[in-house]
Each structure stands twice: as C-alpha cells, then as structure tokens.
Structure 1
Amino acid sequence: MVSIMILVLFVSSESARAATLIVSNQMQRRANISVFVTCQGTSPRISESIPLGQVSLIKIPPTSRQNATDDISPTAGENDKPARSRVSQWVSCVGTFGGAAQFSPAERIYRLYNSDKDSPVSIAVAKDDGFYCWDNDKNSWYRCTMIIFI
C-alpha cells in the first residue's frame, strides 16, 4: 500500500492533461487468474495484464478531436485562418478477471476510470472478490462499480 501512495505523489506532480491509473493485483486465493485493465477511447486501445503482486502505472494519453465549429476571433483579419478548438474525448478503463474485456453479458467488468468523473490520478486494487477504488474526497476505499449489461 505504501508503494501505491508513493506513486501517487510522483504522478500528481505531472501535467493534469494526461491521466494516470494505478492498479495493484493483491489477489490471494485466486492467484492463478489474470487481472486485466482495458481502456477505451484511446488510440490505440490500451489492454494490460497485471501479474499477481505487481503494481501497474497506466498512462492514459490525452485525447482530443477537432470541434465541429470553428472559433473565430473577433479581431481576426480577412486573411487569418479560423482556429479550431480541441475538445477532449471520453476515456473509460475497466478491470476484468481472466482476460481483456470483451464487453459481453457474461463478464464481470468493473469501472476503474472514467474521464468524465474521475480525477487525473485514479487508484484501484484487485482483490479476490472484486476491484476496489480509492475515493480522494473521502480518503477511503470502496468497491468499484460493476458494469451490468441488460
């Protein structure tokens, strides 16, 4: 646990544009099952295996796309090209057991990071009964939300 907090201090000093997800595999009874983190909204898609007892620092690159409308400065001259604004894209990372997320109804998928809701540094721990996430506001752990397909 101390190593996770040291990583947070190191990572929090970096640029706020890129996000970082720290995931620790602390399973004990299910040690023969792989833990995977899969991130969507990045190019290329991130899929990383985390071995038992290891801590992985996953850098989520800043993603952006061109906005559909041009931002034209009121002081722009006739020959000035309109500036295009950059809009951040949504990025989501999930944790699974046994393999990379396929997003099928039979999988147990836990939300580890959501760019719309989470801080630039997120921490998750894989335990035998699921994933646990750190709440920076409450300074406590909670069970990460499981995604349920209907």
Structure 2
Amino acid sequence: MSTYKGEAPSGSVELDPRIIPFFEKFYDVSDTKGDSADAEYVDSLTEDGVLIMGSKRGNGKDEITPLRKGLWSGPVKTRKHHLHRIYPFTPLDVMIHGSVDYGLNNGKSLSVDWAAHAQFVESDDKKLRMRFYQVYLDSAPVAQAASS
C-alpha cells in the first residue's frame, strides 16, 4: 500500500480527483535524491509558483530549484513521507496532514508530523501544478537529533 495516498474526508467540497495521484507522485519524488528528482519536483510547481518551507521561500522556479537541492544538503540522508489526510477548501485548494520519517547522516532516525497548504492550477499542457505550496513542520527535533 502506498504511504503517499492519503484520504479526503467526506463533506460538501469535492476534491479534484487528480490531486491524490498528484501527491502520490510528488511525495515519492520528494523522497528521492538527485538531479532528475530535483527537476521533477520543481516541475510540480508553476513557473511563478511559491514554495515556502519554514523560513525558506522560493518564488519561481529559479529560486525553488536551489531550495529543493538544499533539502538534501543538511543532516537528512533519507526521508519517507506518509500522507494521512487531504482537506479540500475548494476542489483545487487543500490542506494536507502527514508525517515524515527521517534517516540522518549521523545514523539516527525520527518521525515528524507536518501539514501543508497547496493551491493548484491546470497548466496549458493540462497537468495540475501547484502555484503555492507551504509546509508547516517543526524542524527543531531534526536539528536536535542531528547535533546530539
């Protein structure tokens, strides 16, 4: 069973049916290191997309690319996302809840809960892309485990 699948609660707002498969692929790519995965990750956002992770912000693909590469330059050796729930505000505007298992360069491992907000648009090539993606995650446990 895919850990990237997630569920959408039943309610009055219907989730665009392309969003769950989008996130299955997106978090698989998020958990993969390398130039090819970096390019695929960045292609998940629009040309002028906004990516915010904690205090880090990238506006447009030229800023998002180094931000994505930087996610692999610190203490994290491996990551495995688990997508738990997707909450739609509109069919293309969602909140996401999940957790991520980290393997650190020092051999330690830990799991951290996270949430994210994503706004989608359909691009000219009919693909869904995020025009806005913000991740809410407490990075203190990773920093603490990396330094101890």
TM-score range, shorter chain: under 0.3
Higher helix fraction (1 or 2) = 2
Larger Rg: 1
